[in-house]
């Protein structure tokens, strides 16, 4: 099975915004470069952690062009392109392919709930047909907690069968090991990324492609050590260290909390801004999250 060319530790890049809530492209490019220099094999601009769906298609296209124009290699990028509207997904996907992106991360259309596998199949198939480019590599984005609309295993199989070499992987952000295990065992060689950092070691042991996690925005280096040496004696230790991060922001928005951590270490309060409907952490909460993070051993080898 064709699993695409993308492997390793990927960050769904946090998207800084300026005081008018526009994408702060300069800070964004700098953060992208920092991550690629510090543990990330690639980036997913405009994933869930990136507040992707809070930005218009034009805003996303413009930013992505500036990112590649600044020298970030498109081959290492897997931008999110899935929208509610078929035509928006087509436009973003065609644009990413045109830039030479290594893949795209495709949400199913997420407004209508309870739609059939047939309907989701037609959505993805229609995008692939309209983009009509052999270079397209689609990674399906399964994230039931936010999208609610899902990629079932049978639907994945149908898409892979009908579009081999194009539908090459998946990001499973279900948080459900049984589902991820089902994908890894049913589709060997598929480009399967875990959306939950806690499953990285297990994913690699079963032949998965890597991880795409929010926490990579701050702790990509230790994730990279695990990815590079998952068969080594320290693998369990690396995984345990990775697992310590998420509890520090339990009860808060992961995105707002991670932006607070970045703002702290960059000594740049602007980094804490989010676009509505998200809300930045208040000062006390931000301090609490930062303090908890600073106490973790992994804070010493952070990405930022």
Window 238-257: residues binding its own copies (CB under 8 A): none
| Helix spans in the chain (H) | 25-37, 57-69, 86-99, 117-131, 144-147, 153-162, 177-186, 200-205, 216-228, 235-243, 254-265, 283-294
Between 156 and 304, name the residue whose CB sits nearer to its own copies: 156
Q: Which two tokens stand for residue 212?
A: 């795409």
Q: Which two tokens stand for residue 77?
A: 């990028």
Q: How far apart are CA 85 and CA 98, in angstroms?
A: 20
Q: Which of 10, 28, 46, 55 binds its own copies (CB under 8 A)?
A: 55
If one asks whether residue 85 binds its own copies (CB under 8 A), the answer comes out as yes
Q: How far apart are CA 304 and CA 292, in angstroms?
A: 16
If one asks whether residue 109 binds its own copies (CB under 8 A), the answer comes out as yes
If one asks whether residue 279 binds its own copies (CB under 8 A), the answer comes out as yes
Window 16-35: residues binding its own copies (CB under 8 A): 21
Q: Which of 33, 181, 246, 275 binds its own copies (CB under 8 A)?
A: 275
Q: How far apart are CA 209 and CA 102, in angstroms?
A: 14
Lay out the site mask for its own copies across 110-139 (x = CB under 8 A, - = otherwise).
xxxx-xx-xxx-xx--x-------------
Q: Which two tokens stand for residue 171?
A: 């990001």
Between 76 and 91, name the residue whose CB sits nearer to its own copies: 91
CA 17 to chain centre: 18
Between 146 and 287, name the residue whose CB sits nearer to its own copies: 146
Q: How many residues bind its own copies (CB under 8 A)?
A: 39
Residues with Cβ < 8 Å from 24, sequence gap 6 or more?
16, 17, 18, 270
Q: Which of 1, 146, 229, 232 binds its own copies (CB under 8 A)?
A: 146
Q: Which of 236, 278, 283, 297 binds its own copies (CB under 8 A)?
A: 278
- Segment contacting its own copies by CB under 8 A, of 140-148, 198-206, 216-224, 225-233: 140-148
């Amino acid at each position: 099975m064709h699993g695409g060319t993308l492997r390793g530790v990927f960050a769904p890049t946090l998207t800084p915004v300026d005081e008018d809530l526009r994408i702060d492209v300069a800070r964004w490019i700098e953060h992208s470069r920092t991550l690629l220099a510090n543990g990330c094999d690639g980036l997913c601009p405009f994933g869930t952690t990136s507040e992707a769906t809070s930005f218009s298609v034009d805003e996303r296209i413009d930013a992505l062009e500036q990112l590649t124009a600044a020298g970030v290699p498109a081959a290492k990028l897997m931008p999110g392109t899935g929208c509610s509207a078929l035509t928006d997904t087509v436009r973003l996907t065609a644009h990413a392919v045109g830039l030479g992106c290594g893949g795209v991360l495709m949400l199913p259309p997420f407004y209508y709930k309870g739609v059939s596998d047939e309907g989701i199949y037609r959505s993805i198939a229609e995008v692939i047909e309209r983009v009509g480019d052999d270079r397209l590599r689609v990674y399906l984005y399964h994230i039931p907690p936010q999208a609610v609309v899902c990629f079932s295993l049978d639907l994945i199989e149908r898409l892979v069968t009908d579009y081999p070499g194009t539908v090459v992987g998946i990001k499973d952000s279900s948080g459900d090991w049984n589902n991820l295990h089902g994908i890894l065992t049913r589709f060997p060689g598929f480009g399967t990324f875990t959306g939950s950092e806690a499953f990285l070691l297990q994913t690699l042991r079963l032949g998965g492609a890597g991880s795409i996690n929010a926490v990579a925005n701050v702790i990509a280096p230790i994730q990279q050590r695990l990815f590079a040496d998952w068969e080594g004696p320290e693998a369990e230790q690396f995984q345990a260290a990775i697992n310590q991060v998420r509890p520090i922001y339990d009860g808060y928005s992961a995105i707002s909390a991670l932006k607070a951590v970045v703002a702290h270490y960059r000594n740049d309060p602007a980094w804490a801004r989010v676009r509505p409907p998200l809300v930045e952490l208040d000062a006390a909460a931000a301090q609490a999250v930062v303090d908890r993070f600073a106490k973790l051993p992994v804070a010493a080898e952070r990405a930022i």
